[in-house]
Structure formats: structure tokens, C-alpha cells
Amino acid sequence: MSNAASANPAGSVPNPEVLAKSLAEIAQRSQSIATDYLNRMKEGKAAATSDDLGVMPAFVELANKMWANPMKLAEAQTRAWQEQMNVWQGAVQKFFGQGEQAGTAAKTDPRFKNEMWQNNFLFDYIKQSYLVAAENIQRTVADVEGLDSQTARKVRFFTRQFVDALSPTNFAITNPEVLKATLESGGQNLLDGLNHLLQDVERGGGQLAISMTDTKAFKMGENVATTPGKVVYQNDLIQLIQYTPSTEKVHKTPLLIIPPWINKYYILDLREKNSFIRYAVAQGHTVFVISWVNPDSRHANKGFEDYMFEGPLAALDAMEKAMGEREANVIGYCLGGTLLSCTLAYLAATKDTRVKSATFFTAMIDFQEPGELGVFVDESSLKGIEKKMQERGGFLEGSEMASTFNMMRANDLIWSFVINNYLLGKDPFPFDLLFWNSDATRMPAKMHTFYLRNMYIKNLLVKPGGIELGGQAIDLKKIKTPACFVSAMEDHIAPWKSTYVGAKAFPGPVNFILAGSGHIAGIVNPPSANKYHYWTNDELPAEADAWIASAQKHDGSWWSNWSDWVGQFGGAQVAARVPGKGKLKVIEDAPGAFAKFRLDTQQDTKKS
């Protein structure tokens, strides 16, 4: 389907032939989707509406607490009314050229970057009125007293979802950019957008699966995940990739990277210019990376313990076989870092000292303050998740996890695409990061339940002997391995102050680095980009606020700082090792079959 801008000359009515073709395609897709949904209902496979997260009870409790203090509620209503009047008065004054608009300017809000939001009286008023109302609603909810912490977290989060959804940018009649496109194309943008909407519903099997990028623009191993390497080991859960050296000499001690299995590893190898893996290879490391399987019902009974034994421990054994080198430096990213901490405690309990250093990228160890992800994890929601996993054959669909993370940044990862795809009728822009972000992965039931209940809900990892893996009590206080924690200032998934508390759980020497930006951009920030900044501190005081207060700020990327730190544990320089030249033979080229398997591709294949 062509874009609206190219379908018709500016200001023209729709071409009758194009209009008829669009309407016919829309009707055909709508009928197909409706028929498929009815068939799924008959078979009992259609998604049922439920409140597994307990949103309704949370808001009922909110209402009860608000009505318990009518005076405070009246004050909030009076304040909201007064601020709306101020906006209106400011708008009138601006209309007559007597002053600037009142209220929140929101000049940095990307939703209102179109100049019409500032220059047009009506749209400026709509914007200011919305922003003031949104601020008042969220402030009123946040000020309600007497809610327990989990309920308060839920109502704040879903109130934000509500006010974000009501943004005037999300509606055709109140978005100046959409109105302009509609006038110029004769409404073709809305027809194209409806077709895009139906395509996404069809692709999602009756559920809306918003297209964030043109997935056909990328091919694994060609323009993403391009660092040369070979798969040299494989089991039920992992493929182990060894990368081709780019230097004649390398550190004697190899480097193993454990990515999260909630996403694919190639976030660290998106493009040549921002690939952390390529950078590490260039620094003279023999780099190995775990590529996790995308599980299905065959993996339903794989537990957290299996992920440790068949993941990092199996990888370390394979690396020793490949090179004859037992020791290794290890990196764990996000959930991979949580697993790394468990692995280190298990090795400490078994008197195994093969890990020389451990690096944690945005990794949660202490889950006392889990951030917004805590909204989705309590006993009631976990029971709902367990039920879904049981009904679907022992795993959680990747799309559900993706939706959770997208909701945490709804304006960027949901509503911006609603506007672009459905209101403006444009095709999604090819973007490698969003190609990775849409590459959803499933979660095995046994592993996922263990992780959520023991880490998020009970926070047992930081309690000595709180969990047991492989017959060993996990006690972080027994870990003597030097550790480096790299966290991100704006991380909404692993809040940096929470990761700092986790770092304090390690008794060995700990280096803490705080990067700028968020969970992804804070880590994938090569020195050549010269973006953001980072903080370091030779001390590790008890509180995170004390750490940042005395930390030193540096411009640019933290990569070189980390490289200097890990270089201490690299050992002597030896001849570079070529994948397949040792006792482990090459299975296939990187990125390997596990990484290339995409759920959305499989769904498209089934429907074609």
C-alpha cells in the first residue's frame, strides 16, 4: 500500500480506483479477521478478557481512599478548575497578542514538536489544557494516602497509561499533522491507516500487534548481527558463538557474555559502528556469546537451575574445551546479570574460582525496589501468568512480555506508531533497534515462575540461603570475584539506585559505573558516537545518593573505562584463537539458528 502523500495530489479527492481498491482490501481483511475470531471462539481459543493484574480492585481502593477525605478531594478539584481557567485566560491573552500561553510549555515533549502546537491558537490551547489536566490527574492520584505500596504503584502506572492514551496527538481531529495529511490526500492516509491496522490485527492472530519497523529491511548476519564468528557449541538452551579475532594477539583469559533470554543477544551487535561485541574483539578479547533458544512446549520444564547449568556453566566448560583455558571474564546483561550472580554464588559454594572478573550491565540483584516492572508482579498477577502458560503448553508468549515493556514507555513504543501507522497512514520506518525490539522471545513456565516468585516477589536472592540451585545454598556474601556494575541513569527497567543496592550485596572489590540515558542506549553507546556521559567514584558508600553526590562526571562512553578495568584480568598476550581450530568444531556461522528464529516470521509463515 502506498503512502497517503503519494496517493493523491495535494487537496484532491481520492482517486476512485485507488479508493475502491482500498475499500475492497479493507473489507476482505475485516471479513477474514472476523471469521477467524469467530472460529477461535467456537474452539475456545479466543483471548478472554481478564484482570490478572488486579487493576480494577486497585482503583476501587483508590476511590475509597479518595472519598474518605472529601476535603482533600474538593481541594484537588478546585485546583484543577483554577488551573484550567488560567490556561483559558492565557489563551485569550495570546489570541489578542497580549502575552504568552499559560500552563506547561512542554517544549521538550516530542508529542508536540509540530510547530502548529505552538503557533496556532486553538491547538496551543488544546495542548495546554490537556497537559494541565494530565498533570492534575496524576498529582491527585499520587497524593492519595493510605494505599499499600503495590496498590499505589499500580494506580500511578495505569493512571499514566490513561492520560497518555487521551493525548490530543492520538486523535485525528485534534492532531494538526494528521488533519493536514487528511486534507492533502483527500483522506487516503486514513484508508491506508485502517489497512495497516487490519494487517497488524491479522498478523497478531486477532490481537493488535503494532508494526514498529519494516522487518523486511533487515537480515540477520547481513545488516544486523554482522560481527564474524562461528557457533561452536549447542545444547537444548544455548548456542555458543566464538567470534573471529581482529588482532594478532589477544588476552589469555577469554570473555563470555551472558545476554538476557528475554531478548536476543544481538542488541550488543546491531551494527558495525555500535557493536559492543565488535569493540570487545578489537580490544584483544577472545569473545564468546551465549545465544539463547526461543523456547516452546518442549522446554516447559526447564527451570532456573537448568538455565544456569546449560547456560553459563556449560558455556564455560565448552570454552575450556575449545581453548584449553579454564579461567574467564564474564559479562551478564540485565536478566543475564541476575543469572551471573547466581552462578558466581554456586561456584563459590563449590570452591570453583574459574571466573576472574564479573561485569553486570543494568542487572537487578536486590529486587526490593523493582521499579515499574513491579506493577506486573505480585501473587495475584503471577497466578494469572501461570494459568496462561499452562493453557499455552508451558510457556509465556513473547508478545505478552513485549507488551509489558512497551507499556512502560507507551508514548515512544505504542502511541507514536499509532499516529504514524494508523492516523498518518505511513509505513513503519526501517530501524535496527526496533527490529531487535520486535524480535520477541518466549519464557518457559518453570523458569519464569521461579524467577518472578523468588526474585521479584520474595526477593530471596539477597538473603543467604534464600534459594537453592544444584543442591547449593546461594549466598552472595561468599562471592570474592572482582565485580563491575554498569547501570544507567534513566533506566526504567532496572532502576540504577536498585542496582546499586545489589552491588552492595557483593563483599569482593566492586567498581560501580553509572552511564547516561536508559536501559539500552546507556549500554549501547560506543566511544565513536561521543554521546551522553558517565559517572565514576572510587568509593562505594552505603547510599546511592551519597555515591552520585561525590562521583566524577565524564563525557562520552563508559566503554573505554570498562576496558581498562577488565584488562587487569586479561592475563598475558597470546596468539589469537580462531573458532573451530581447537577441540570444538564449527557448527554454523554466527549469528546461528537460535538467533535467526523469529516468532513474527513464523506467524506470517503459518498464515501465508
Taking alpha carbons only, the member of 570, 567, 568 closest to residue 253 is 570
Report the sign of the C-alpha dihedral through residues 36, 42, 44, 49, in that order.
Answer: positive
Half-sphere exposure of 505 toward its Cβ, with a 13 Å CA cutoff? 25
What is the rounded CA–CA span in Å between residue 268 and residue 279? Answer: 10
* Residues 175/423, Cβ–Cβ less than 8 Å: yes
Taking alpha carbons only, the member of 134, 138, 141, 143 closest to residue 84 is 134
What is the rounded CA–CA span in Å between residue 354 and residue 343? Answer: 11
DSSP string spanning 223-275? TBS-S-EEEEEE-SSEEEEEEPPSSSEEESS-EEEE--TTS-GGGGGSSGGG-
Query: Is 334 an annotated catalytic residue?
Result: yes
Grid cell for residue 503: 552491588
Q: How many CB atoms lie within 10 A of CB 599?
A: 18
Q: Beta strands 533-536 and 552-555: pairing type?
A: antiparallel
What is the rounded CA–CA span in Å between residue 475 and residue 461? Answer: 8
What is the rounded CA–CA span in Å between residue 228 and residue 230? Answer: 7
What is the rounded CA–CA span in Å between residue 466 and residue 461? Answer: 6
Which among 334, 365, 408, 599 is annotated as catalytic? 334
Grid cell for residue 145: 494516602
Q: At a CB cut-off of 8 Å and minimum separation 6, what does 78 contact?
A: none
* Residues 354/329, Cβ–Cβ less than 8 Å: no
Q: Which residues on neighbouring strands pair with residue 535, listed in sequence order?
A: 514, 553
Tell me the three-class secondary structure of 320-388, residue by residue: HHHHCCCCEEEEEECHHHHHHHHHHHHHHHCCCCCEEEEEEECCCCCCCCCHHHHHHCCHHHHHHHHHH
Work out the widest C-alpha separation in the chain, in whole angstroms: 81
Active site residues: 334
